Amino acid sequence: MTTVGVELGDRSYDVAIGAGVSDRLAGLVASRFPGARRAAVVTDETVFALPWFAAVDPGTPFDVHRVPAGERAKTVSNVEALCRAFARSGLSRRDVVVAVGGGVVSDLAGFAAAVYHRGTGYCTVATTLLCQVDAAVGGKTGVDLPEGKNLVGAFWQPAGVLCDTTLLTTLSAREWACGRGEIAKYALLASAGGAAAADEIMDAPLDEQVARCVAIKARVVTADERETGGGAGRVLLNYGHTLAHALEAAALRRGADVRHGEAVAVGLVYAALLARRLGRIDDDRVAVHRRVVERFGLSDRPAGFETKELLTYMARDKKAGHDLSFVLDGPDGLELVRGVDEADVLGALEELACT
């Protein structure tokens, strides 16, 4: 087992990574929530049906609250439904919410915990690769609106995260791709110090890949928890996400199936093309981006989206101000670039679709 600490003063917590660490759930609840008399276990229909879920035990009386599987579950109405269910079960502010699932469940349950009784503690058993390497760590919780991804949410840190890598054996190929898109992001974040750093992450065993990604995120979150550090803080974790969120929002509107990690892979290559168009990086650096994405078996091509529609969603993205803003690579590494001209944004989209 590997433990990575997220150091945030009295809100610090550990992320445990390895085979079988989900068995530590009762101990985690007992140590972090000594006054809890009840737990609310939130999961989705897919995870609930898996054989191992019957063994989930927070060590205190609990109710299971199921939400639909998939991104469409991340709605304000489902937050209300969860909070009402918490109230009916008698959950108090001293009790605990336990998220058992992937990124959608951790985002949804974490946000419900953040607003129930104005803040009820929670912890996460992360069951997907995406959740383990990214979504469960850092305290960003929230839901989507028809106008865009993650537009309603709160910063609410978990009391602990358990990343049991044995649970990943049940994942579909699409879910593996979803997580690998985020690992590709972390490999490119690491590669700012040289392309070899990306290879180290890509070549590592799975447990170490998860631990390396969590460690990178933990360092960034510790330095800039609430994304107030300007263009060089936590916002850098959104690398590739401006287009990715636009692709996901457009897919949700039309009923298409685009997974987060798949969209991030496209967004990473797009960010490189946009940075090259702005004279920030050269062809070799674009090639590094393509190599990392291809190494994880991911596509760098969007399919069937209108550029004007994507532009609208990118302008609404949560990291934007009143202009088009992107995290872009450059001579000094990644930074937030504001006021990118619309013509360059559209030109890079056209280049992405054609190359």
What is residue 191's predicted lDDT score, i.e. its pLDDT?
Answer: 84
pLDDT of residue 317: 78
pLDDT for the residue 182:
96
Q: Do the beta carbons of residue 26 and residue 96 sit within 8 Å?
A: no
**Number of CB atoms found within 10 A of residue 50's CB:** 13
Q: What is the pLDDT of residue 197?
A: 80
**How does 164-176 read in b/e, with b if 16+ C-beta sit within 10 Å?**
bbebbeebeeebb
| pLDDT attached to residue 320 | 52
Residue 145 has a pLDDT of 92
* pLDDT at residue 322, as a whole number: 65
Mean pLDDT of 265-280: 97
- pLDDT, residue 256, reads 82
Active site residues: 118, 140, 182, 217, 227, 234, 238, 241, 245, 260
Can you state the percent helix, strand and coil of the chain, rounding each to 5? 55, 15, 30
Query: Domain 173-354, what fold?
Result: Dehydroquinate synthase-like, alpha domain (1.20.1090)
In whole numbers, what is the pLDDT of the chain averaged over residues?
A: 93
pLDDT tier at 88 (50, 70, 90 boundaries)?
Answer: very high
Mean pLDDT of 295-311: 86
- The rounded distance, in Å, linking the Cα atoms of 107 and 143 is 7
Q: What's the confidence (pLDDT) of residue 33? A: 98
What span, in angstroms and rounded, lies between the C-alpha atoms of 151 and 145? 6
Measured distance CA(239)–CA(11) in Å, rounded: 26
Q: Which pLDDT does position 302 carry in this prediction?
A: 82
Provide Rg for the chain, Cα atoms. Answer: 20
Q: What is the pLDDT of residues 162-195, one digit of tens each?
A: 999 999 998 999 999 999 999 999 999 998 766 7
Give the range among 2-11, 71-80, 131-140, 305-314 with minimum mean pLDDT.
305-314
* Cβ neighbour number for residue 324 with a 10 Å cutoff: 20
Give the whole-number percent of the chain exceeding pLDDT 90. 81
> What are the structural domain ranges in the chain?
2-170, 173-354
Helices (H) and strands (E) in the chain, counts: 13, 11
Residues in CB range of 327: below 8 A, 6 or more apart: 235, 236, 238, 239, 240, 241, 242, 271, 319, 334, 335, 336, 337
Which amino acid, 189? L
Tell me what pLDDT residue 135 has: 96
d(CA 67, CA 70): 9
Q: How many residues comprise the chain?
A: 355
pLDDT over 80 (residue 313): yes
Across the range 238-254, mean pLDDT stands at: 91
pLDDT attached to residue 217: 97
Q: Regarding predicted confidence, which is higher, 111 or 203?
A: 111
* CATH topology (fold) of 2-170: Rossmann fold (3.40.50)
CA-CA distance, 39 to 99, in Å (whole number)?
Answer: 10
- Average pLDDT (26-52) is 97
Residue 81 has pLDDT above 90, yes or no: yes
pLDDT of residue 196: 80
